Chain A
Amino acid sequence: DAKTTQPPSMDCAEGRAANLPCNHSTISGNEYVYWYRQIHSQGPQYIIHGLKNNETNEMASLIITEDRKSSTLILPHATLRDTAVYYCIVRVRVTGRRALTFGSGTRLQVQP
């Protein structure tokens, strides 16, 4: 799986959009970009994934650059409950027996 780089921490004001970047310059053509988050003392929670098109669901939007070397997770109206560690993971979607591997992620602090 391709390596990802994320800033260690970010702050965001409540009600504003939170934009979390992720660099994955070595991504290959069949690798997807996945985002998970881990709220304190809970198991990681799936947020969204994409291959090359921008994606949106009820939780967030995922913007992938045209060259696919970076992406941004957008939480459109951050709330205090969005305070968590956000993990960007790049992997092949259809694969063998390998489990997800986690980097250090970005710790997002939503400020009141």
Chain B
Amino acid sequence: SAVISQKPSRDICQRGTSLTIQCQVDSQVTMMFWYRQQPGQSLTLIATANQGSEATYESGFVIDKFPISRPNLTFSTLTVSNMSPEDSSIYLCSVRRDLAGGYEQFFGPGTRLTVL
């Protein structure tokens, strides 16, 4: 498996501010992803964090709102910009590790964000 840590684990923020979430993996991985889980909902993929290039965003998510960095193969950040109460969610980092015959995907513990 992969050991994934996220910081902060939770935060309460004011409307209009921004929060940067960090994701650290214990070893190099081929791909990193960011998901959002709104209250009572399933997980929704925000974007794929690409090492050394711009992230690839899913429909409905844009770089200005969710800028992502991935400076190396073990670290990524997601920023939630100009927050509103609708951004209150759990944000999850996920990584893909290549294994013999395929790959597996693992998830971090999540960052619980509340926007007032």
Q: A residues touching B (Cβ–Cβ < 8 Å)?
A: 41-46, 87, 93-94, 97, 99-105
Q: Please tell me if B115 contacts chain A, counting CB pairs below 8 Å.
A: no
B31 touches A43 (CB 8 A): no
Asked whether, in the complex, the Cβ of B42 is within 8 Å of the Cβ of A105, the reply is: yes
| A102 and B43 contacting across the interface, CB-CB below 8 Å | yes
Given contacts A41-B110, A46-B106, A97-B31, contact A102 B42 (CB under 8 A): yes
- Select A104's contact among B1, B42, B96, B101, beta carbons within 8 Å: B42
User: How many pairs of residues, A versus B, come closer than 8 Å at their CB atoms?
Assistant: 47
SS class, residues of chain A in contact with chain B: loop
Asked whether any CB of chain A lies closer than 8 Å to the CB of B109, the reply is: yes
Other A-B pairs, 7, CB within 8 Å; known A41-B90, A43-B108, A97-B56? A42-B109, A43-B4, A43-B109, A87-B42, A99-B33, A99-B94, A100-B94
Q: How far is the CA of A7 from the CA of B1 in the complex (A)?
A: 29
CA distance A50 to B4 in the complex (A): 25
Q: Which residues of B contact A103 (CB under 8 A)?
A: 42
Chain B residues, Cβ within 8 Å of A93: 101-103
| In the complex with contacts A41-B110, A42-B110, A94-B101 CB distance below 8 A | yes
Interface flags for B83-116 (1: CB within 8 Å of A; 0: not) read: 0000000101010100001111111111010000
